[in-house]
Amino acid sequence: MTERGFQLFPDQASSFAPRVDALYTFLVIVSAFFTLLIFLAIVFLAVRYRRSAVRDRKRRVGAKFWVLEAVWIVIPLALTMIMFLWGAALHFDQRIMPRDAIELNVVGKQWMWKIQHPQGRSEINELHVPLGRPILLRMISEDVIHSFYLPAFRVKMDVLPDRYHALWFEATQPGVYHLFCAEYCGTEHADMRGFVYVMQPSEYATWLAGGEQQPPVTAGEALFTRFRCDTCHYQGGQPRCPSLANLFGQPVRLSDGQIVSAEEQYIRESILNPAAKVVAGYQPIMPIYEGQLSEEQVFHLIEYIKSLSVMPPETGQPAPVEEPAQGFPADEENRDG
C-alpha cells in the first residue's frame, strides 16, 4: 500500500490540495506562456535578422516605444498582483485555525516525530487521521528547527523549540501518504520521515481504541499532583495563587499592565518560566519548571488546565465565567502522587 509507482504529479488528498493545484496550474500557464513567448521571439528575431539576411534595419520607434515599455510593465505587474492576492487569500485559510478540529500534539526531535491523539494513543513517525474532519496539529520541537510536511496535503509548517506552531488540514482521500521533515535538522534529517494514514472515521475510532495510553488530560491531572502544582493552585485555597479554572482562552492582566490571552503558548511559558509573565496581583513565587518537564508532559498539563474550563459543546471555546467553577478534582488517591 505504501508502494507507489513513478508519478509526475502528487496525490491530492486534502481539501487544500485542489485549491493549491489550481493556483499552481495558473502559475504554470503564465510561466509557460512567457517562457515560450521569449523563446520563440528570440528564435524568430535571431533568424530573421541574422547578419547574412538582407533586411530593413532602420529602427523607427517613436511613440510606439513608450507603449511597448508600458505594456511590458503593466501586464507582468497585473499578473503578479493576481498571483499575490490569490496566494495570500488561500494562505489565510491555511493559517486561520478551525474551531472544531481534532487537536493532536506533535513533538519533533532529532530525528523523529512523536504524535499523541486526544484519546491518548500515541505514535511515532506515523499519523492516523479520520477522513473529512479538520485536524489541527499543535507542534513543538525538543531541539532544533524541524518542519512538518505532508506533500499530498500541500501543508507544511516549521516546528521550533520553545514555541507552539499550529498546522491544520482536512483529509479527503483515504490512503497512505508521505510525511517528511522538510527543514534540515542534522545528520539523520533524511530519515525523519514516515506515513500518514487517512482512514474512515469508524476505522479511526477502532484504531484509537487500540492504544493503551492514558489520555493527555488524565496524564496531566496526575502530573499536576506529582509536581505539586496542586499545593498552590487549588480552588478556594491559597489566596496567593491564581485559580486555573476557566483560565484557558481568557485575557489575563499581567503585573506590567499588559493583557495577554491565555493560549497554549502563554500557559507553557507560565509553567516553565513563570517569572517572565507574572499575573497582576500575585507575587512571582512559583518555581521554575524548565528542565524538569518534557514537552509531552507540558502538553499534558496544558490539556488538563484546558479541561478546567467549562466548554460549551461545539464551539470549543471556553464559556465566559459567571461564578467560580467547580474546584479541582482533589482525589485523595492522587494526592500523594
Binding site for ligand HEA (CB under 6 A): 30, 34, 38, 76, 79-80
List of residues 6+ apart from 317 with CB closer than 8 A: 99, 249, 311
219 forms part of the interface with ligand CUA (CB under 6 A): no
185 forms part of the interface with ligand CUA (CB under 6 A): yes
Closest CA to 103 of 114, 113, 123, 117: 117
- Cell reading at 193: 520521515
183 forms part of the interface with ligand CUA (CB under 6 A): yes
Please, are residues 235 and 324 in contact by the beta-carbon 8 Å criterion? yes
Please report how close the Cβ of residue 196 comes to another protein at its closest, in angstroms: 12
Please report, to the nearest 10 degrees, the dihedral formed by the alpha carbons of residues 303, 308, 309, 314 taken in order.
60
List of residues 6+ apart from 270 with CB closer than 8 A: 277, 286
Nearer to ligand HEA, 50 or 92 (CB): 92
* Beta strand ranges found along 117-153 (DSSP E): 122-124, 126-130, 134-141, 146-150
Nearer to another protein, 177 or 204 (CB): 177
Binding residues among 192-251 for another protein as defined by CB under 8 A: 193, 227-228, 231-232
- Looking at 117, 128, 138, 146, which residue binds ligand CUA (CB under 6 A)? 146
Give the span between the Cα atoms of 337 and 304, in whole angstroms: 16
281 forms part of the interface with another protein (CB under 8 A): no
Angle at the Cα of 80 from the Cα atoms of 74 and 85, rounded to 5 degrees: 125
Piece in contact with ligand HEC (CB under 6 A), picked from 42-50, 92-100, 106-114, 270-278: 270-278
249 forms part of the interface with ligand HEC (CB under 6 A): no
List contacts with ligand HEC (CB under 6 A).
227-229, 231-233, 240-242, 244, 247, 252, 262, 267, 270-271, 274, 278-279, 282, 284-287, 289, 301, 305
